[in-house]
Structure 1
Amino acid sequence: RAHALTTAFGQGVSRSPSGHTHLVDALQRATNPAFEIVICGDRKDPKTQALIRTVRTSAPARSSVLLIEPGTQGKAVRTLAPFTENHLMIDGQPTAYVCQDHQCQMPTSDVKELVRQLTAQPPSKSENSATKRER
């Protein structure tokens, strides 16, 4: 569908990109992965900072990132984003959760694993649909 839309509206977008911002956004959403990333840890902790740097350099552009700090700031974020209630530091270490379509990968405190999770190619929507039909 995204390809058909690109073909149908491509010339119009080329002539007037600012007039087609919603279309371009929809095409990006349909063709590019986006993640919800939750980092749990103290922003002053070098390990938390390493996770944040990794997300800044490796996450797809449309990803959403939340930092959940210990204490009242973290409680405020959890109030605004209640889905983070069970996102916690593991073994007292800053921890990252990489989620897509409300499904999270295994939490990690390891920068290399975080890069792997952020750069792994997710199955396409058509592959997901085929897998669901097979079940």
Structure 2
Amino acid sequence: MGAALARGGLILNDDIYIDAARRSIDFVLTSMCSPSGRLLHRFRDGEAAIAANLDDYAFAIWALVELYEATFDAHYLRIALDLTDIQIAHFWDPDGGFFSTPDDGEILPLRPKEIYDGAIPSGNSVATLNLLRLSRLTGRQDLENKSRQLADTFSHNIGEFPMGYTQFLQGLDFALGPAFEIVLSGAEGRQDMQDMIAAVRRIYLPKKVVLMVPEHDAESIVRLAPFTAPYRSIDGRATAYVCKGQQCELPTTDIERMMAHLGR
């Protein structure tokens, strides 16, 4: 729900949906996390309990990534990365793919590993695209490598019955590209930056990630995405850095030129 609300608010330019997404995610982060930062599975009668499963992590991370791109609040990107590291530490199978249950959870005769995308996508499928998007947002190659291992692990299943793995195929489509990485740098509150953000959001370009380097607090993003350290605004104006397949164009302050770099 959080991901849908954040994406809906971004597309419709409606803060009501974005605020609802923020409240839902903030509730999970404040009321459904253990002191160590791990997610809990359920909340009832004022109590959160039961260790979260893979789906809980995958869908929460998805919502956090969507909320970051809707708000450019680095706090949500940081939490998405923290939860991803926890997910890898406790659910990853050295032979490839994520188990549905954590390594320190209930002892089972067999730890399941779900991949089929039914009415609700599987945790492995959602995680594939999450890892790719976070890798492109932050420059962390280890996350992209994990997504490739997921594809290698489940390629036989997907090849035999592609229609059963539609969410996973979205991740593969993103990986095959071409995908765009867009870094916007400048003062977020200025009109020229708002116009640049609006231009990016008006177009249908699903295979992209958008990162904001705010002029007033660039370090909040540089800590998470060190590659953005030299990405500064030109002459104090809103500036776009557009990369395609991790090959970058010259920065521009002109919206029409930015759109041309995006093939629009």
- Output the TM-score relative to the length of structure 2: 0.37
Percent of aligned pairs sharing the same letter:
31
**Higher relative contact order at CA 8 Å, sep ≥6: structure 1 or structure 2?**
1
Offset at residue 48 of structure 1 (A):
0.4
1:13 aligned to which of 143, 148, 162 = 162
SS in 1 for 2:212: strand
Deviations for 1:79-114, whole angstroms, at most 9, x for unmatched residues?
111100111111121100001233210101101101
SS in 1 for 2:223: helix
- Output the TM-score relative to the length of structure 1: 0.69
Corresponding position: 1:54 with 2:180: no
2:168 aligned to which of 22, 33, 44 = 22
Q: What runs of 5+ residues in structure 1 fail to find an aligned partner?
A: 121-135
In structure 1, the residue matched to 2:111 is none
SS in 1 for 2:251: coil
Does the 8 Å contact 1:59/1:118 carry over to 2? no
Give the root-mean-square deviation of aligned CA atoms.
2.3
Cα separation, 1, equivalents of 2:184 and 2:204: 13
SS in 1 for 2:183: strand
In structure 1, the residue matched to 2:96 is none
Offset at residue 39 of structure 1 (A):
0.4
SS in 2 for 1:80: coil
Paired AA for residue 13 in structure 1: P
Give the number of equivalent residue pairs.
108
Q: 1:24 to 1:64 in 2, by over 3 A?
A: closer
Could you list the runs of 4 or more consecutive aligned residues of structure 1 that deviate by over 6 angstroms after TM superposition?
A: none
Deviations for 1:7-64, whole angstroms, at most 9, x for unmatched residues?
x948x334x3xx343234213432x421111101111101001111111123621211
